[in-house]
Chains A and B, each alone.
Chain A
């Protein structure tokens, strides 16, 4: 089972590689304007807290407890991205042309049980045509729903039941909300092949529902590629898959549920840009990007639904100047900047 450590979900597969671990953290960020403009990657503004559902059982609906996993607070219309981190031996594989640190894993992400990469309803296993997962370490993060090749729509939290979530638009129900994750490691024999390929090094990585529940809708458009899997589908060890349900709690209810204060609402994209702070782009050369999902491309954005419902424009929907982004990549120095939310 995964563990919760310092607000990260940590997955270990010691029977395959004792010296490796994979972790996911959920990063606070600013919501990019929901217009036709394609934005660069916004920064991380600190991690969202994660808590075991069992620790707050008396304050949560039974069905939240039944789903297990963790709870996480988000403000209405707040954005989020997921940060993937592989730690372990450095490796390179001639067969797949993949390189990286740690044991490679296939990550399947869904919101309201709608796959964020393929737009399909959640189903066990991993699939191709269309590929419904990303591979870490090739994929360093995921910021939203894959709507076309190289473009995602940002993950934005909205109250479940109001019709904003991707789940509600595609299934006409608001049954699940939250975020669902499964992590599948490579099969032991495939990992062994990589280790024996001679390019393996032991160096470590250097470099009608309860109102409190939230679902993820589709926000503004952002440049982000989700990369094609370089391994064969049968290389993945489905038997070793681990999964977690992350229930999203409205931040206004976080104190009454967890006894902890929720973080302040994040800055707007306008505030951020006017402060002259950087935006980012990521390029992984030699990796093919997936085409994106037609199903997800048909989903209405949060700002679009808001306008349909109210006739007004959602706050923060005016384009901002972002300047030239800082370019990140596997061969370039420096991680994506993570700024502390307390500085705002």
Chain B
């Protein structure tokens, strides 16, 4: 995806800013594709499986203790895990992601949400990002990952 395309769409933004924004959106699409390929059934199933896996080694991941740390009641978290209530809000999902060591964008995507920062990016230039997302929605996972993978520098 060449930056010049974005520049023509919105000359008021620098190309550098556009690239940074673009990476966030593409990462979101990558997460959605990952979810699709993993064939995960629902947010509730996923949260419960993840919590029970952790609880097998660490009792602090009991339903009760996790709920307290995330600022919700155990009864509510139990209903979330059984998909009996709509997904929690962004704040709670971010806490759950942090506790369960999950990617927050993945959990948000499973809940049918996108993070507030990504939403702001899209709303600031809706047509530009609508075009972008549509243009890469059918890319295979490897092609999407190729777009988002920077070569990390380290200590040397």
Residues of A within 8 A of B (CB): 1-5, 9, 12, 14-15, 18-19, 52-54, 65-70, 113, 176, 180, 242-245
CB atoms of A18 and B152 under 8 A apart: no
- Interface size (B, Cβ < 8 Å)? 18
The minimal Cβ–Cβ distance linking B41 to chain A, given in whole angstroms, is 28
The minimal Cβ–Cβ distance linking A23 to chain B, given in whole angstroms, is 12
Q: Which residue of A lies closest to B20 (CB)?
A: A14
Residues of B within 8 A of A (CB): 2-4, 7, 14-16, 18-19, 146, 149-156
A-B complex: 3 closest residue pairs judged by Cβ atoms: A68-B154, A14-B15, A1-B150
CB atoms of A19 and B4 under 8 A apart: yes
Given A1-B150, A3-B150, A68-B151, A14-B156 contact (CB < 8 Å): no
The minimal Cβ–Cβ distance linking B96 to chain A, given in whole angstroms, is 25
- Inside 8 A of A52's CB, which chain B residues have their CB? 149, 151-152
Can you list 30 pairs linking A and B with CB atoms under 8 Å apart?
A1-B151, A1-B152, A1-B153, A2-B150, A3-B149, A3-B150, A4-B146, A9-B151, A14-B3, A14-B14, A14-B16, A14-B19, A18-B3, A19-B2, A19-B3, A52-B151, A52-B152, A53-B152, A54-B152, A65-B154, A66-B155, A66-B156, A67-B155, A68-B154, A69-B151, A69-B153, A244-B151, A244-B153, A245-B154, A245-B156
**Given A18-B15, A52-B149, A243-B153, 11 extra CB contacts under 8 A:** A1-B152, A3-B146, A4-B149, A19-B3, A65-B154, A66-B155, A67-B154, A68-B152, A69-B154, A242-B153, A244-B151
Q: Which residue of A lies closest to B16 (CB)?
A: A15
CA distance A18 to B153 in the complex (A): 23
CA distance A242 to B150 in the complex (A): 12
CA distance A187 to B54 in the complex (A): 51
CB atoms of B151 and A2 under 8 A apart: yes
- Inside 8 A of A242's CB, which chain B residues have their CB? 153
